[in-house]
DNA sequence: CGCATGCGCTAGGTAAACCTAGCGCATGAC
DNA sequence: GTCATGCGCTAGGTTTACCTAGCGCATGCG
């Protein structure tokens, strides 16, 4: 993924996380202490925010700065190299999940990552 | 360490790493593909470089982007996530998942852990 | 209906990130 | 001595990050 594409992807990522958190653009901008027009422009890929701003947005969304930088293509690829195992391990170690829930999540995760790309987009697995 | 102090500290860090690698300012700037006056100003704390520039300098010095961001105070001190955050961050960091898939997995995860996605962020429980 | 409040966004302004041109100094070769 | 090449840096210019003021639209209330 090229850097330019990463920045556009970052805007989409921020928007999706914001919507996931059920926040309006103005609410997130206020918590992150940036102007809402600027956040709108960042989400649409018009501007590349500084690392400071990325960190503020990450904190406001309660996600780690690291995952934000990774989304922006700002971490080394080797730093990102373990996430496949990371998701499965994190699920297995989570004390809040039952065994059945863990199996389900891992099955879904594997369904997403093992199928051909044409089957992935916007599709939930059966069941 | 405050952010302003971190930026000055970053400049000192870059200079010391550069000298350690026995590179002149112009040599490092050329490898990192930035102008040498600007690198000089960054080293003296006059300007705060963007994350892109930080990454280029880190690569040119053969050090990890992550340690560069940490030196600049741009990483969370609480990188040790709680288990709940571990799953969500692992999902977000996984380069094999599309944004939609990440959203889906996180929604399912939150449904399993009774973490309502529709709540306002300020009223989320500790976790 | 008017008014208040919320939404995301445009337009123009300011500040700073980053650049190029070129300076003064140091060193080495002839 | 001159000339070439290296050094780090200043000054002014360009680009872009980020801001404020305010728009149009939607919704709810009296």
Tell me the per-residue pLDDT of B92-118, one tens digit each, with 9 for 90 and over.
878 778 888 888 888 888 888 875 444
In sequence order, the 6+-apart residues with CB closer than 8 A to the CB of A95 are B83
Q: What's the CA dihedral at A86, A58, A65, B43 to 10 degrees?
A: 160
DSSP-assigned states of every residue in B103-120: HHHHHHHHHHTT--TTS-
Tell me the per-residue pLDDT of B40-55, one tens digit each, with 9 for 90 and over.
999 999 999 998 999 9
Tell me if A57 sits within 8 A of A43, measured CB to CB: no
B50:A51 CB<8 A: yes
B83:A90 CB<8 A: yes
- Digit-by-digit pLDDT tens for chain A (127 residues) are 344 566 778 999 999 999 999 999 999 999 999 999 999 999 999 999 999 999 999 999 999 888 888 888 888 765 544 444 578 878 877 777 877 888 888 888 888 887 444 343 334 433 3
Q: Which of B90, B98, B120 to mutate to test the interface with A (most CBs of A within 10 A)?
A: B90
- Which position has the token pair 């040119």? B60
Q: Does B22 touch chain A (CB under 8 A)?
A: no
Q: Does A90 touch chain B (CB under 8 A)?
A: yes
Which ipTM was obtained for this model?
A: 0.69
Q: Does A24 touch chain B (CB under 8 A)?
A: no
For chain B, which domains are there? 3-71 (1.10.260.40), 83-123 (no CATH)
């Amino acid at each position: 993924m090229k850097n330019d594409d990463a920045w556009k992807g970052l805007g989409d990522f921020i928007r999706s996380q914001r919507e996931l958190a059920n926040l309006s653009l103005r609410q997130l901008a206020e918590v992150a202490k940036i102007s809402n027009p600027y956040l709108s422009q960042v989400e649409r890929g018009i501007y590349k925010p500084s690392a400071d701003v990325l960190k503020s947005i990450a904190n406001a969304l309660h996600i780690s700065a690291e995952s934000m930088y990774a989304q922006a293509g700002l971490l080394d690829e080797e730093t990102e190299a373990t996430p496949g195992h990371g998701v499965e391990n994190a699920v297995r170690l989570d004390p809040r999940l039952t065994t059945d829930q863990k199996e389900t999540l891992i099955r879904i995760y594997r369904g997403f990552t093992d199928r051909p790309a044409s089957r992935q987009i916007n599709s939930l697995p059966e069941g």
